Amino acid sequence: MLRKMLAYSSINHLGWLLLAMTGLSQVWMTYFFIYCILVSLVVVILMNLSIFHLNQLMSSFMPWEYKVIILLSMFSLGGMPPLLGFLPKWVLIKQCITPSSMIYMSVMIFTSVVTLFFYSRLGVSALLISQKMNPKNFLWNKEILSAVGFLSVFGFGLVGWFSMVSMT
């Protein structure tokens, strides 16, 4: 199931990449670079934790903080604002929204919302299935959470750069 969700997400991103390639050369290269970083992050996390199937993610024995890291990474991959994955989509929407492309952009946004819906269902289910739900029992590894938070929110620093790229 995880592979199918990631495959659907990749097809969705392919649509956004093709849209960006229709004359926005710098934007599509930036989108592709950010997409590669986010996919690599999700795949490396899943491989390091030996998670290949949905039931492994739902395991009540997996530490809660790992589930949060996976959820944040997948939300960023799906393009949830204000995470890094949202920025390239925001730039494309800003560049391509015209009266003649409203239907096409609506379809693109709808497919992204569907992807985020599946990711949120997965995340909520994984977080609610836990052996110990008392927050005092969770040991937070501040270095890991800081690294994931930085990678996910890093997009705020790129807002000015994307605005400059979109103006040229």
Using one digit for the tens of pLDDT, what is the confidence trace for 78-120? 888 888 889 888 988 888 888 888 888 899 999 999 988 988 8
Helix extents (H) in 21-134: 25-48, 54-57, 64-78, 86-96, 102-128
As a whole-number percent, the residues of the chain with pLDDT over 70 amount to 73
- How far apart CA 56 and CA 77 sit, in angstroms, is 20
Mean pLDDT value of segment 147-159: 59
- How far apart CA 79 and CA 34 sit, in angstroms, is 11
DSSP code, position 60: T
Cα→Cα distances 76→70, 99, 105, 138, Å: 10, 29, 20, 23
Whether the Cβ atoms of residue 64 and residue 127 lie closer than 8 Å to each other: yes
CB atoms within 10 A of CB 59: 14
Domain that holds residue 64: 2-167
Q: What predicted TM-score, i.e. pTM, was given to this entire model?
A: 0.71
Domain count, the chain: 1
